[in-house]
């Protein structure tokens, strides 16, 4: 079993309740990565809706940091199930407190549907010519970088103030597990904040809310991600991201609201 599958494993307790263990190995500093927690919640929902296994739209609000190395309890619920979609929610609790709240529409991602309009994948050097993301960010350890292989566009790896608020790069699991829609939720929240390129590294950029739209099942191989911050004001930023698979097809769009510890 892959590290990701093993470390997001849930045990069904019935009535939409699940229990699991939040691994410390997908953390940024001492906080479990938000995409990792979202993936666990998504798995609980998928277990309730076998006819609609894929998160077509999933929104998570981060109420409190997760606790690595501690058990979690998830309560998931199907609010409405129709022919095309199941609307669901889930709460991930640790230590008797809600850590994340999730609302989602699950359905079936087509395998080979033609796109009428599709954002093209950006041009980027191959993974071997990109720069591995460091496991250390401004002195903060990133245990997650022992689980994920991230290669960043060499032109964007700089933290000097005044560059573009954009980050482009490749991502895959270190242990070779193939990407899938649940993994895409993790990949949507695993790149360095794109705003670093514009205003310099600013430390912690906590996510308030993240919404991911899955668009198709990814092919085998690397995933290409591009993230941009086009809107930063009053200490809050909106970051938009897209993920493409190794064949250049769009697999997901993501948008998050995050707080920035920066005047303005």
Minimum CB distance to a second copy, residue 54 (Å): 11
User: Does residue 262 interact with a second copy by CB under 8 A?
Assistant: yes
User: Does residue 109 interact with a second copy by CB under 8 A?
Assistant: yes
Residue 89 token pair? 């929610």
Neighbours of 232 (CB within 10 A): 18
Q: For residue 43, what is the enclosing H or E element?
A: helix 34-48
- Residue 63 φ/ψ, nearest 5 degrees: -90, -40
* Mask for 63-92, x = binds a second copy (CB under 8 A): xx--------------xx---xx-x-x---
Tell which one of 37, 105, 150, 157 touches a second copy (CB under 8 A). Answer: 105
Which one of 4-12, 102-110, 144-152, 183-191 is the stretch in contact with a second copy (CB under 8 A)? 102-110
Q: Nearest to residue 223, comparing CAs of 179, 177, 174?
A: 179
Residue 25 token pair? 């190995």
- Residue 124 φ/ψ, nearest 5 degrees: -155, 145
Which one of 1-9, 24-32, 133-141, 211-219 is the stretch in contact with a second copy (CB under 8 A)? 211-219
Q: Could you identify the residue written with the tokens 């930023």?
A: 237
* Mask for 158-197, x = binds a second copy (CB under 8 A): -------x--------------------------------
């Amino acid at each position: 079993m892959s590290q990701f599958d093993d470390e997001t494993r849930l045990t069904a307790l019935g009535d939409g309740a699940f229990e699991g263990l939040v691994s410390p190995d997908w953390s940024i500093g001492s906080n479990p990565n938000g995409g990792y927690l979202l993936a666990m919640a998504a798995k609980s929902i998928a277990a309730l809706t076998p006819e609609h296994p894929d998160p077509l739209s999933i929104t998570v609000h981060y109420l409190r940091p997760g606790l690595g190395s501690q058990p979690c309890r998830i309560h998931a619920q199907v609010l409405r199930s129709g022919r095309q979609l199941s609307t669901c929610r889930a709460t991930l609790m640790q230590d008797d407190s809600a850590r994340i709240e999730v609302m989602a529409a699950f359905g079936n991602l087509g395998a080979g549907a033609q796109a009428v309009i599709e954002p093209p994948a950006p041009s980027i050097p191959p993974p071997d010519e990109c720069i591995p993301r460091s496991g250390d960010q401004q002195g903060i350890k990133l245990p997650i970088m022992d689980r994920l292989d991230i290669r960043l566009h060499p032109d964007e790896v700089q933290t000097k103030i005044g560059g573009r608020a954009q980050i482009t790069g490749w991502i895959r699991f270190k242990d070779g597990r193939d990407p899938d829609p649940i993994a895409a939720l993790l990949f949507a929240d695993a790149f360095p904040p794109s705003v670093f390129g514009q205003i310099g590294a600013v430390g912690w950029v906590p996510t308030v809310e993240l919404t991911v739209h899955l668009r198709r099942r990814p092919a085998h191989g690397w995933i290409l991600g591009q993230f941009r911050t086009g809107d930063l004001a009053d200490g809050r930023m909106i970051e938009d991201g897209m993920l493409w698979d190794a064949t250049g097809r769009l697999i997901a769009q993501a948008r998050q609201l995050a707080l920035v510890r920066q005047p303005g």
